[in-house]
Amino acid sequence: MIEGSQSGVSVFISYVHEDEDLKKELDKHLKVLKRSSKIQTWNDRELLGGQERDQTIMSELNKANIILLLISVDFIASDSIWDNELKSAMKRHEEGTAYVVPIILRKCDWSSQPYTNLQALPRNATPVTEYPNRDDAFTEIAKGVEDLVDHILKKSTAVPNKANTSHIAPIKEKLFEVPVMPQNELRKRLGDRLSVNEVKQVAFDLDIDYENLEGSEAKTTKIMALIAHVERRNMTPRLFQLLTSDYPHVLS
């Protein structure tokens, strides 16, 4: 489960220094969320003298609720990003302990990357540098981040008797026993008992881009593609946890 508290949501920014200027522009557009205490951000420019670089970076990444991947050809080409930050980010995504959001800065081929099925920003994954006015792109990104933060905080406040903490940290779920249910039965229940908007919300909560799921726009087709994606990514326990907590009527 990914939880937030009154002190805000922790956001880790993963990027390469070739994109420093674009990262600074993003920082400016996230400033309003920082001032309102909705978020606190961290990137490697906040390392202090004497800190162990790799250990500190991974420690901050593993505490974050949201991990922003600033995508460019340099980001994709970075061995350090690939071997360390990206591997850990995707592991946390699969575990359901963090939201991973690709931010498409510059045009590049990211279709074969591990995050290709995650909902990207800006809208329609149009690279920031291809906008006539980059402020429009960063405004969309900031709004998308804010929507995700509000979603996290809303779900967090819905948890009864949750203790307040001074630092936001995702809490790994206890071992969850997955119900035995044939795929065709799960598909039928999702189709019969959830609206299209609810199916979209399920996809969103699982960090899956509903619009890019394979097949037609028909709800049954999207559900089939959603279940297939969940199974390919070994996310079945996470799906059933979500249904148990938010849509118990699907399983009853």
Whether the model clears a pTM of 0.85, i.e. scores above it, the answer is: no
CA 165, 167, 168: angle at the middle one, nearest 5?
90
With 0-12 / 13-18 / 19 or more C-beta atoms within 10 angstroms meaning exposed / middle / buried, residue 108 is: middle
Are 6 and 168 in contact by the 8 Å Cβ rule? The answer is no
pLDDT at 179: 67
CB under 8 Å to 230, separation ≥6 — which residues?
206, 208, 236, 238, 239
The token pair at 231 is 């199974």
- 138-159 in b/e burial notation, b at 16+ Cβ within 10 A? bebbbebbbebbebbbebbeee
- Give DSSP secondary structure letters for 120-158: PBSGGG--GGGSSSHHHHHHHHHHHHHHHHHHHHHHHHT
pLDDT at 102: 95
Question: In this structure, how many other beta carbons lie within 10 angstroms of the beta carbon of residue 87?
Answer: 12
Q: Which helix (H) or strand (E) holds 67?
A: strand 66-71
CA-based max dimension of the chain: 58
Query: What average pLDDT values come out for the chain (252 residues) when binned by 10 residues?
Result: 62 95 96 93 85 88 95 96 94 90 96 90 92 96 93 71 42 49 87 89 86 83 88 81 85 82
Q: Pairing between strand 66-71 and 99-104?
A: parallel
CB under 8 Å to 22, separation ≥6 — which residues?
70, 105, 106, 128, 129
pLDDT at 157: 67
pLDDT at 175: 40
